[in-house]
Amino acid sequence: MSLFRIAVCGRKGGVGKTTTAASLASYFAFHGLKALVIDLDPQSNTGFVLGVDPVAPGTAELMLDQTPEPLEAAENLFVLPGGSSLQGRDIEMADPEELSYAVRKLSDYQVVIFDCPPGSDHLERFGLVAANVALVCTNAHPLGIIGAERVLAEIKRRRERHQSGPEYCAFVLTQINRSRVFDKDLPEQLAAKYPNIPQLSIRQNSDLAWATAQRTPLMENSPSKKSIEDIEQIARWIAEETVVSGQRNGEKV
């Protein structure tokens, strides 16, 4: 079983899920951990932004007991693309545990990151069930916050029913620019409603946009100190929660 199994989620599109997933995977890989990004989005954006073939066999085939070959995006960094096959009836009817079972075969990866799609609680659920960590992404847009709250409600339901799901959970506040009033108010707004959920943040940053535009992993582009700091804080939080402390400090929904 992989050391870190991370679901990057948030029901609204455009809140930085794929950028977060791809950047975090690049960071882990750059620091010597073999990382795999599993794209659960029929649009297959993760494969595109990491520079691999976005329509190659990938996540759907893995869930259907086939053996797709993960595509190498950089040293230690691999991708299983999403694609339209994720919208097929076989996937629609699959058990929520199906991806979790399939991922157990991928024991040579120390980090597995599930890039969950917007607007599909069904496909998102596969990632949540398979993960031990959930990063719930939102920006300051009201619809982004609503989407994040829906993810948290799903995690809470699964916990209350003693079903499989992430043990650790944190907000990732994305596209943050502290000069904007909404962005400045977002941490306080979330803390008032979810005081026990940690908040991590990724500032608005041209390095992240550049990596996406160039279809190359973040760490291959000599990113700025600011870019690395934001991704590093997320990686450190994951490591501390799952490995060092072994305690679920503040992750209760």
Give residue-wise pLDDT tens across range 87-104. 999 999 999 999 999 999
CB under 8 Å to 46, separation ≥6 — which residues? 18, 21, 22, 37, 39, 54, 79, 81, 82, 115
For the chain, what percent of residues have pLDDT higher than 90? 68
Q: How many whole angstroms separate alpha carbon 162 and alpha carbon 221?
A: 43
Summarize pLDDT for 68-79 with one digit per residue, the tens: 999 999 999 999
What letter represents residue 54's amino acid? P
pTM for this structure? 0.92
Give residue 226's pLDDT: 77
What is the pLDDT of the chain when averaged over all its residues?
Answer: 89
Asked if 128 and 253 count as a contact pair (C-beta separation under 8 A), the reply is no
| More confident of the two residues 179 and 14 | 14
* Cα separation, 12 vs 246, whole angstroms: 31
Q: What are residue 169's DSSP bridge partners? A: 134
Strands 111-115 and 199-203: unpaired
Q: What is the pLDDT of residue 181?
A: 61
- What Rg value do the Cα atoms of the chain yield, rounded? 17
E strands within the chain?
4-9, 35-39, 71-74, 77-80, 111-115, 133-138, 168-176, 199-203
Is pLDDT above 70 for 142?
Answer: yes
**Per-residue confidence (pLDDT) for residue 253, from 0 to 100:** 55
What pLDDT does residue 52 have? 95
Structure-block tokens of residue 242: 């799952």
Q: Read off the tokens for 135.
A: 């990063």
In tens, the pLDDT along 77-86 reads: 999 999 999 9
Please say whether the beta carbons of 112 and 7 come within 8 A: no
Strands 111-115 and 4-9 turn out to be parallel
Write out pLDDT tens, residues 145-192.
999 999 999 999 999 998 999 999 999 998 877 667 667 788 888 999
Contact yes or no for 21/45 (Cβ under 8 A)? no
Quick: pLDDT tens for 42-52. Answer: 999 999 999 99
């053996």: which residue's tokens?
Answer: 67
Ranges 118-127, 131-140, 197-206: which has the least confidence: 197-206
CA–CA dist 186, 219 (Å, integer) = 28
The pLDDT of residue 141: 86
Report the candidate in 116, 118, 117, 120 with the shortest Cα–Cα distance to residue 128.
Answer: 116
Residue 135, pLDDT > 50, answer yes
Q: Is the pLDDT of residue 143 over 80?
A: yes
